[in-house]
A = this chain, B = another copy of it.
Amino acid sequence: MAKEKKLVEAITSMEEDFAQWYTDVVKKAELCDYTSVKGCMVIKPAGYAIWENIQAELDRRFKATGVQNVYMPMFIPESLLQKEKEHVEGFAPEVAWVTHGGLEPLQERLCVRPTSETLFCDFYKGDIHSHRDLPKVYNQWCSVVRWEKTTRPFLRSREFLWQEGHTAHATAEEAEERTIQMLNVYADFCEEVLAIPVIKGQKTDKEKFAGAKATYTIEALMHDGKALQSGTSHNFGDGFARAFGIQYADKDNTLKYVHQTSWGMTTRMIGALIMVHGDNSGLVLPPAIAPVQAVVIPIQQRKPEVVEKTAELYQILKEAGIRVKLDDTDKSPGFKFAEQEMRGIPVRIECGPNDIEKGEAVICRRDTREKIVVKFEELAEKVKETLSAMQHEMLERARAHRDAHTYTALDYETFKDTIENRPGFVKAMWCGDQACEDKIKEDVQATSRCMPFVQEHLADTCVCCGKPAKKMVYWGRAY
């Protein structure tokens, strides 16, 4: 019992200290660990298995839209990074520089990619000649490096894993269409698979990607009321094409610049899963993304009939296509329950001598802790039903939480008070002026999260300066 207590007691409650709770879950659910390189993490099997599922789901959705995977070098020569002016200004302060190869100093230093626009442009310049070569709809899965000052596991690390899509199109319309298409892929993935509801919208100029004409984003709300930018899709127009000279001969035989996009989603989504669904017993994983969806836990497992029956139940669930484990280790059932809860396995199936006598097992849901007694012959079906209900209800619960923490402010005093005292999104009108964003940032450390696609006319004037309003904006403090 000492060990069981330790496993549970070691978590700080989220009400007491949300940041510490997050760190405890990351560590106790064995998702990742620190390393001797500050800001770089080891992603452990339980964490990496979630990433593998994210990859598989996204990759399938990408390929259904015609995406092809490629791999670009991890190094960018300094002169290449500098070709697009805004881009280099945005990234140069936070890249890692390689200056020596083997025992020799390099003639030109190389940065470890913080993102690969410049590499794709350099490649497209040589690979695109004619309208027949378009569109290029490429993506890569890789790691990138940004030398952040303050770091947090999954949310902000110096190295992280992601995918970055980079496309080139003949027309501006096609590029815009692809930008929005991929934002929708991200949004659907977040809602359908991660059970995380998102707000779709456009970033303001202040918040957009370095070098982009327009950045679209999906914004999610964490349990503590902070926002998390969860995926972005950028339309570059022909800005990079002009900087790199990427032209194609159109059908009319004139040379034209291509129009480009890029879009990315990262391992920070593992952090989002923790902060949207987790509770004071640990992680809670939506069944669609959970590497293990169900664990069978024998009660009094030294009894031969228990060994036999739980092995049989495991087999039945496996054959039904459920990602299931049988935990027949020599730990106590209580310890196994605590572990299942900490790791966020969606359901556990308990089965002991009494259950066997009655021809039953108990399904226990991770999110609601609801216990469902079920006849053996109905187990597989009932587990599937439970997983499906849980997936649906987790999304609805997260949506209800998000909606309950979305406020409206019509004047600046209310706005500031809401930001400071009611963690969540604040909807408010904005004049379109960066000065107001800067003032809000300084006054209450909140940023414009996005100008949502679904606009509401809350008032005629900017919540900050009182000038005529142009857009409704979601504001919030963010990770």
Contacts and interface: CB of A to CB of B under 8 A. Distances in A.
A98 B97 contact: yes
A52 interface: yes
Contacts of A142: 143
A292 interface: no
Nearest to A141: B141
Interface string A66-98: 001111111111001000000000000111111
Interface string A221-243: 00000000000000000000000
A44 interface: yes
Contacts of A42: 70-73, 119, 123
B97 A147 contact: no
B101 A147 contact: yes
A77 B40 CA distance: 12
Given A48-B71, A74-B143, A145-B74, A99 B101 contact: no
Contact of A95 (B102, B123, B147, B159): B102
B52 A69 contact: yes
Interface string A96-132: 1111111100000010100000010011001100000
A138 B43 CA distance: 11
Interface stretch (A30-38, A313-321, A399-407): A30-38
Interface string A19-48: 000000000000001011100111111001
A80 B36 CA distance: 9
B159 A73 contact: yes
A473 to B, nearest CB: 30
A100 B99 contact: yes
Contacts of A40: 73-75
B103 A96 contact: no
A111 to B, nearest CB: 9
Contacts of A158: 101
A8 interface: no
B110 A73 contact: no
Interface in A382-430: none
A49 interface: yes
Contacts of A159: 73-75
A161 interface: yes
Contact of A77 (B37, B51, B69): B37
A431 B145 CA distance: 50
A354 B265 CA distance: 51
A97 B75 CA distance: 12
A36 to B, nearest CB: 6
Nearest to A158: B101
A75 B123 CA distance: 26
B97 A70 contact: no
A246 to B, nearest CB: 14
B122 A36 contact: yes
Nearest to A138: B45
A98 B112 contact: yes
A99 to B, nearest CB: 5
Contacts of A43: 70-71
Given A96-B101, A97-B99, A122-B35, A48 B73 contact: no
B37 A73 contact: yes
A37, A49, A122, most chain B CB atoms within 10 A: A37
A391 B44 CA distance: 37
B41 A73 contact: yes
Nearest to A75: B37
A49, A99, A138, most chain B CB atoms within 10 A: A99
A72 B35 CA distance: 9
A64 to B, nearest CB: 15
Given A45-B70, A68-B45, A100-B97, A37 B126 contact: no
Contacts of A98: 96-99, 112
A35 B134 CA distance: 20
A77 B122 contact: no
Contacts of A147: 101-102
8 contacts: A36-B77, A40-B74, A43-B71, A44-B70, A71-B143, A71-B161, A93-B102, A98-B99
Given A37-B73, A43-B71, A99-B100, 5 more contacts: A40-B73, A42-B119, A45-B69, A74-B74, A98-B98
Q: Which 5 A-B pairs have the closest CB atoms?
A: A40-B73, A45-B68, A101-B147, A43-B71, A97-B100
